[in-house]
Structure 1
């Protein structure tokens, strides 16, 4: 028998122990690193530590007035690496343009080369060296504006003039509606520029969505470089299926490219990528890198990925690497989450400028290679489609778009509805146009306005106002005159009113909505002081009959009666009158003959057969549990509606030995029964009914 050295026997256990120690003692960054990336590159440093903030001078100003006191914690939450938060100065009310200003101040001047900001602000200003302290946004001569290069989205890089030393930075947002907010700020010592606005974007596919009541919308790759939206490679089709989820076998990709080589050191990305790879183009000149072969791409393996928060759709992150000079960079998407589609909301390509000015996007020429001309006799609404040689629709090019009279040019990018380039062949375009629908007010269907109350608006002016007329679901049902006024009601309204008060000339004075859920008076009556309303039972009123007293002086409502149907009696008010402090109600319930002689409260289930166990319903989840005792009562029509497909669906007999078995419904006291209706069971058995 051969002998194995003890070390070889212990070697697997030793390796497992070392691996476990490595995992348990390693840093969180290494463990959380994307498996498609290899960390190891140091990202750019920030210009200032948060310990140098001047907390008394950090703040927000709204229309020139400081609000909220010190904002140092908020400033640190958006500007400090490793932290995430949101800094909001408030919301515009939509009635006027509001100016929001965010000031980040320091204890001493700081050398700043560029400012990166993500949010709604669109201006960056720095405090002059000789300006008075503390900083005041109202002293405009104290600030120097750092122009934000055009073509950037909500994530912007603003390089400052060389050798800028400032003790405060101000971010400004002017808006007439919506929330003002800063999500992310980085103050950097080097001068950085964003190369995305001067790039060309291509992608593996581009998704077109079809909203129910809006034109189709395509998530073009070029929306990223034009700062006009986001890119998406796929999405639910008309059967709500996603046809192209990215995988490692069939990845999705997005490419930024330039005509001349550019130096790029990293990207700021907003995406839903769970696993991705970065590569740069290393192929011949004169061709678009988007069509390069796999051999012409070089993967960037050493990356520094820094998370910067997230929102409902996107992860925000910085991805830095050793500077690469290339005409193109590719993001290869291998896995996404939570949706199995590739989504890119923003992409900032970082390039260190040195002494150079920031890149400025040239005026973009129309990219689509195919165009055609058509004439319109007047300003029209146009819809245009592209069809192949067999007449099959391949693209909805324009949907209900406004176009001016005269000559118009329409372009096509040679892509179909899925965002894929069409096959070579013959194609034709077809279009329709019309002048558009115009809403012109001619009259109101209610003569009350035009004939009797021209001072009233023909539309509702709130539920209590004199404008408009009545309900939107039911016509007027009842009317009563008294107390020098006329009252008209409709049984049910949703956005209209169910009860109105008019003067004796028919001019509406005020209105009132539903008194209870979906229910207004179906019958009206007046005495010397009040107006009374009544409504018969309905599903909307939970099967209850209502009687109300309304005081026209203050429009207060008092419920005089709220009575439900019972098992022995159905309610049904059919008339109403009031006089001398008394109310008279006429009742006629035409379906009384179908009421039960007894109700569920009279049933003695402990002495009924078969005997079913009781199932207690304690919460909402228990409502779906079979409850045979309740089903037994429902099958006898003593309570609720007949049961569905859970629990009992027919009455079962006892299963005693012998040929005779029974169904027994017992009562807790004698009840008066005049007749009994019961369906005959199927089969040849003999059935008898005994009391």
Structure 2
């Protein structure tokens, strides 16, 4: 027995639980120890009580092999009661997960983490990545199959994604043919007052109901794209299988909330709203949430309904009380007093489950309850100390809660789903006494006003309100709106008091207009065609984050399209493509989101200019992010190839003094030279061996480029250095073992005579001339002879200024390369606007692409 004692404070970014995980990881390295006694002492600053708590956790870790550890996962969350899934982790048969599109099948790659799955199990939540399937430009259905190792009862399935659901029939051998609908039993749901098997909307969060006594060992997820969709892929974030049959009545309910009522509709919209979910305000309420100061949400129904429980999806409260307005209550719902509400059950231990793509908290009411309305009172917020790092600030000191969706789960037993369709609200609602009947030949938006006998306007009844074709009725309560505040539009507070009109004769006037139709005309500030992402990755343009800042021309013999391509990169990508490639006319041919790891697209780009390039490699990319330098390549088929990743400094939130950013790269016969200005060094890598070899010391290095003879040109501050290195000797150098202490590579260096002004990009022309993008006071492309004499400038000179935009002026020109026609492709490291410009050899602006 070994005693491992660790003391940690609640100062780490991801919270104390992550500190425990680090301790586990440390212990796991000592697999030769048969038993470890781990004592973890943590000092925690409690977020809601101003005192310090000291405690110890004694954990006996019976360590055998790392794989045994990896198969056991503790999952938080409220006890699901009778909603507990029958699926165990051992039931999940990921080896037989499959996707089908256009008659072709391939393994469905769900997630790489062996512990997590798309299917929720008794001891694991779902993963944060979900499953995309059927990536194709063709229309038509695409399917994904999630397999189980045994037949299980299935009554209902909770699913996030844009899919419809069916399950394999038990009389089918094996795991079925995804293309044969006869082998699969479709699940159904209630939408718009009818039973349907149609797929859910994008970001749908849907409870699907199967026929009574259904059993199966495979689930089929189907997506049918529309021609106007930006992406044709199907997507499922996760699914939760329940033994019994339930349906969700939320779509037939009305919702109110004690806080932020304008956003309450999100609670019943059937969507996974994620960060846009309902909450009680961006900062919460003024006092901490408690039993005395709760936040509540309420669902009401047009008739009495029977519920087994609720699904508080992505809930930001840890403890809730469920209350009901019994079916014996016969007054208007709005007239109910606090004494009319009855407590049903209290549930503790709810969990948000971020960043999982399925985040249920299934709340069993204990018994089936018949009611007119149900209310969930949130009486305790989440303690942020155990939450994901992205969420730790969200509770706002115990004053804020949130909720993405509140589903009302009605038990069906053996009854058909049709029996869960409720009466319309209109049938049960009281309405004003005066009916105004009118007929429409076709649907339209109706405006009605009411004038008195003298023609004076007394009421603007409805405005641009949609009505269907046929006979319709609008109701008037007999009040006027003469006393309304006519200045309301200026100050935003609307007050429309009403007085009962006098007895007399009144005339209703109105008109109907066709529904407003939206026609796409143009997408401003986006050079993509179309401007939105498409399944073939040709749509859209760059990324929505940093501007295009680097460019490289790639010959036709190094890519699968067999034509000259121009690669364009942006440093950081959140949405869109951080790196993409276009043909010589600027037509986008493809793109990728990240390269080398999270967030980085391409901080620098380089094409091999040596006589012996690797023709199976299209382009090289080196980026620095969060203390890590990432060497990457795209092969001729545009697949990512990791050449090496080197951590110089531990990643920290809001990192300062990050040494990893890269200024520029140059490539010659598979040798990559990357400038790291914050290290005052050039790094040298042999890409063919994926070996980082060493460094060349150089003050403030930025732009780099190889000449045809292998001489390296490197910007050093305001000067340009010529560097001669023995490229042949690099082949015998061993890979460096420590990126923080790289060996120095011997070179011969000399400085050229000219003085540069903030050089940022450089390329060598066929005639030996040197083209350099300079910022400083110039913001031009400036061309020099091999001896350093300035012979040409391109672009109007001067610093960026506020005023009329000049297309012939470049703002912060950075990346530059020359194509086979002698034209210059230049990226401008500027956000207003983001621009890639193309210039003729003579200096004339040929074309420019803007955005996004």
State the TM bucket, normalised to the shorter chain: 0.3 to 0.5
Q: What TM-score do the two structures reach when normalised by structure 2?
A: 0.40
Q: What TM-score do the two structures reach when normalised by structure 1?
A: 0.48
